[in-house]
Amino acid sequence: MDHIKLSMPNKPEFVGIIRLTASAIASRIGFNIDDIDDIKVAIGEACTNAIRHGCEKTNDTYDIEFFAYEDRMDIQITDTGKGLASLNIKQPKAEDLREGGLGLFIIKTLMDDVEVITSEGKGTIIRMTKKLGVD
């Protein structure tokens, strides 16, 4: 298992670096292009959530950790923001669709396993797994 940890400033312009890093690690493990695209979208959503909701000061950072195994890739995004009061993630209705607010739903749709650990005032950890060869 290889472990890579990045600490990123809460600036959206750095999300591309994280997506490229995820793509390179996933490619090294042997994921196909469709799975790599899913990983990049999911990690982009998770990082955007950390920036929007988890970093309260302009100089805040959040951490991204990659765990590369032979048969899967685990990713963990940790912020120290206000946390989430509720994790009631439902299938969105077409009439309720708006920009934003679908990040966790998208992540759960694209990744094989997703765990969200949060509490008000303590920050949020999103752990997600993509398994090699699983559709």
Looking up residue 83, the CATH number of its domain turns out to be: 3.30.565.10
> Taking the model in full, what pTM does it have?
0.84
**Count of domains observed in the chain:** 1
Who contacts 97 (Cβ-Cβ below 8 Å, separation ≥6)?
none
pLDDT tens track for 91-135: 555 445 444 557 788 999 999 999 999 877 788 999 999 999 887
pLDDT tens track for 9-60: 989 999 999 999 999 999 999 999 999 999 999 999 999 988 887 766 666 8
DSSP-based three-state secondary structure for 4? strand
Residues in the chain, total = 135
Looking at residue 29, what is its pLDDT?
A: 97
Looking at residue 99, what is its pLDDT?
A: 46
Task: List the domain range (segments joined by +) for residue 84.
Answer: 2-131
Query: What letter would DSSP give residue 90?
Result: -
